[in-house]
Structure 1
Amino acid sequence: MINYAIVGCGRVSSYHANAIVQDENSRLVACCEVKTDQLKQFSRTYNCKPYTDINEMLNNENIDVVIIATGNSSHLKLIDIAAKHKKHILCEKPLALTKDDCVKAINLCKENNVKLYEVKQNRFNKPVAKLKNIFDDGKLGKLVLGNSTIRWFRDQDYYDKNEWHGKRNTDGGMLYTQAIHDIDLLLWFMGNVRSVQSNMATLLHNIETEDVATAILEFENGALGVIEATTCTYPKDTEGSLTIIGDKGTVKIGGISMNKVDIWQVKDDNTDTSELNTYPENVYGFGHKDLISCLTNSLIENKDSSFLVDGKQALKSVEVIEAIIKSAETGQKVYIQKT
């Protein structure tokens, strides 16, 4: 049995809690939140012990994994605390808002001999998982082009009701908070990025950060890529898609969050794609249950899974986002150094 604690009892935390209680080898033992009303409700709903102080919780409870589900800029501080208490960590995206802070988080966990993972539940989407299987078998052949499209909608109220949303130092921006899932999958299939050329703008929201961005990527393997992302898609989330093109196959996984097959044309492949489509109510999807199950089994068996995003993989997405922002600000192509 793997014992979990959740830090941060906001909207996303319920997806983790529901996933934990559905897994027979996982148990939610505690939660931590500074907003007492939110804390009490969460504790009652999921029958776990409430705390307002993370150190007190980690000292008092038998916890194997801490899930960090707080605002983006708080992640490194909480990783530091959990790692020094010798707890494994599953951190909501982004791992941190800078490459340097990601490296600090990775080193903290390495020094304290604990595992560090980032929440990227879309890796477990049925069409994504199937694509990964045939991709690893080489069925798509030589990679040519990868495309990530995020056409979502966030109104001004979304940014106003949480003081950290839409600010560069606390939120990071749309690329960190929304598009990072899609960027992770693009890199998972296409590999490391060599260079980025991008543009960004803030067109419809009263915020510090971007609400629309485009980027052209050059991968180390010679293939090219495109990222298109916005939170201005009126009147609702309409597309979160991934397209991978190779010389032996073309696959586009679409829906609102890479949850259904739009194109699946692969040489010598007889996949029944109708069995892969899912229809979630929102962009959070159905992947949290499989993510928690995978993590729990990985810890029990002491065996890593390629579907789990460790600290080094999480760092790669942040490196690309930093490069997109820098290119947009300078008007220059940005090269990413190998790490």
Structure 2
Amino acid sequence: MSKIKFAVLGYGHIGRKHAIMVDGNPDCELVAVVDPNEEARERAKEFGAPVFADIDDYIASGIHADVVNVCTPNGSHSRMASKALDQKSHVIVEKPMALTKADCEEVIYKSLQAGKNVFCVKQNRYSPSSEWLKSLMVEEKLGEIYMVQMNCYWNRDDRYYKKGGWKGSKELDGGVLFTQFSHFIDIMYWLMGDIDDIHGQSTNFSHKKSTEFDDTGIVYFNFKKGGMGSVNFSTSVYGQNMESSIAIIGSKGSVKVSGQYMDQVSYCHIEAYEMPELPPANPPNDYGDYKGSAANHHYVIQNVINTLQGTDVISTNALEGMKVVEIIERMYEAFEA
């Protein structure tokens, strides 16, 4: 079987991680890397694949990738994905899929027209604690769900929001729910489904000079399937990430998964249930001055390979990616109401 050809758009921290995963997989071949930054392009030459300054140069080269990995700033995800789909390539889109539901719909339309898949990167679904929570929900171990509370308290300071970069821009970053916490919103959606009757408030405590959006908020809502929920978030935590947690209270039991990256089961009390021993979680992505969500990208790449080879299905499809964007969009609308 011939190797699946990949092109990586964007060679920052995440783009390099994608390139490493592709280059190290025997079923893959990295055929191009695209980044407008000259220093990034120099670094990308480490893989020996052709390097381009923009996607149009890549397209003009005649090189065709079976899969294009979109790892560019958030606000450009939908545009890059659409261009790749126009070239009849499958697409992997880093989170978030886009910054608006309308842009997600355009990507889905193009994917259907081209007959190509869109894979959304939601690697936290592969964490052992997340898979365990999903099994509890599928098997209805907790009974009727009464309440879900999610807390996301991270640090993002001037080590992260550097002058001249895209981070902190409303147009390209979108806000902390998109950039820092969309993985956790995705887990909540994956477990509980859609929400409505959304209310909340937000403010900017410590990033007035570095971002165009608020850094802290409280959101509360109802789940369409029943039960109430809330999300409390902030990137104003001093020094380092503090907590990412989810607590679920049901009629037959309650659980809490916490830790800095929502990867540690800290409470489990369920009727006639014995807590299994979970495999260890992978460490968070380490970017030097700050850390992000779980280092599970190899699972994402392998899912793409398996899906294209016909042995698996997409772990997070475009409709799910769009739904998370829509939920975050509605949360931001609630802040402005």
TM-score (norm 2): 0.90
Deviation at 1:15, TM superposition (A): 2.1
Contact 2:126/2:299, CA 8 A, preserved across alignment:
yes
Q: Cα deviations across residues 66-100 of structure 1 (Å, max 9, x unaligned)?
A: 11011111112111110000111111111111111
Q: Alignment length, in residue pairs?
A: 327
State the alpha-carbon separation in 2 of the partners of residues 50 and 268 from structure 1: 57
Q: 1:236 to 1:111 in 2, by over 3 A?
A: same
Runs of at least 4 residues of structure 1 off by over 6 A?
Answer: none
Equivalent residue number for residue 294 of structure 1: 303
Alignment of 1:1-339 (within 5 A): 1-44=3-46, 46-58=47-59, 60-205=62-207, 206=209, 207-273=211-277, 275-280=279-284, 282-301=291-310, 303-305=312-314, 308-330=315-337
Inter-partner Cα distance in structure 2 for 1:124 and 1:166: 28
CA displacement at 1:150 relative to structure 2: 1.0
Per the TM alignment, residue 240 of structure 1 is displaced from its structure 2 partner at its CA by 1.5
Deviation at 1:228, TM superposition (A): 0.9
1: CA distance, partners of 2:164 / 2:67 = 27
Amino acid aligned to 1:150:
C
Cα 1:86–1:274 shift into 2, 3 Å: closer
- Rounded to whole Å, the distance in 2 between the matches of 1:302 and 1:146 is 35
Shift of 1:63: 1.4
2:131 partner SS = helix
Secondary structure of the residue that 1:169 maps to in structure 2? coil
Q: Give distance in 2, aligned partners of 1:310 and 1:295.
A: 11
Q: Say which SS state the counterpart of residue 70 (structure 1) adopts.
A: coil
Give the match's secondary structure for 2:199. Answer: strand
**In structure 1, C-alpha distance between the alignment counterparts of 2:104 and 2:40, rounded to whole Å:** 29
Task: Quickly say closer, same or farther: Cα 1:25–1:246, change in 2 above 3 A.
Answer: farther
* Distance in 1 separating the partners of 2:26 and 2:135: 26
Structure 1 unaligned spans of 5+: 331-339
Does the aligned pair in 2 maintain the 1:252–1:262 contact within 8 Å?
Answer: yes
Q: Alpha-carbon deviation of 1:116?
A: 1.1
Scaled by the length of structure 1, the TM-score of the pair is 0.90
* Aligned CA distance change for structure 1 residues 57 and 214 (closer, same or farther; 3 Å): same
Residues 120-155 of structure 1 show CA distances to partners (whole Å, capped at 9, x for unaligned) of: 111111211222233222222222222221110011
Residues 79 and 133 of structure 1: CA distance in aligned 2, closer, same or farther (over 3 Å): same
CA deviations on 1:1-25 (whole Å, 9 max, x unpaired) are: 3222110001111222232234332
Contact 1:118 1:311 in 2 (8 A): yes
1:261 alignment partner, SS class: strand
SS state at 2:184 partner: helix
Residues 122 and 57 of structure 1: CA distance in aligned 2, closer, same or farther (over 3 Å): same
- Spell out, residue by residue over 1:148-198, the C-alpha distance to the aligned partner (whole angstroms, 9 max, x if none): 211100113422345322222221111111111111110110111122101
What root-mean-square deviation, in Å, do the aligned CA atoms of Structure 1 and Structure 2 show?
1.9
Code of the residue aligned with 1:43 in structure 2: it is K
The 1:54–1:302 alpha-carbon spacing in structure 2 relative to 1, beyond 3 Å, is farther
Inter-CA distance 115–237: structure 2 relative to 1 (3 Å threshold): same
Q: Gaps (5+ residues) in structure 2?
A: none
Distance 1:267 1:18 in 2: 44
Distance in 1 (alpha carbons) for counterparts of 2:40 and 2:192 = 41
Residues 270-325 of structure 1: per-residue CA shift (max 9 Å, x gap): 343353445435323221111111221111116424xx221111111121212111
Match of 1:336 in 2: none
Aligned partner of 1:301: which letter?
G
3-state DSSP of counterpart to 2:294: coil
Structure 2: distance between partners of 1:178 and 1:231: 8
Deviation at 1:226, TM superposition (A): 0.8
Among all aligned residue pairs of Structure 1 and Structure 2, give the percentage whose two residues are the same amino acid.
28
- Stretch moving more, 253-262 or 54-63: 54-63
The answer on whether the counterparts of 2:303 and 2:313 sit within 8 Å (CA) in structure 1 is no
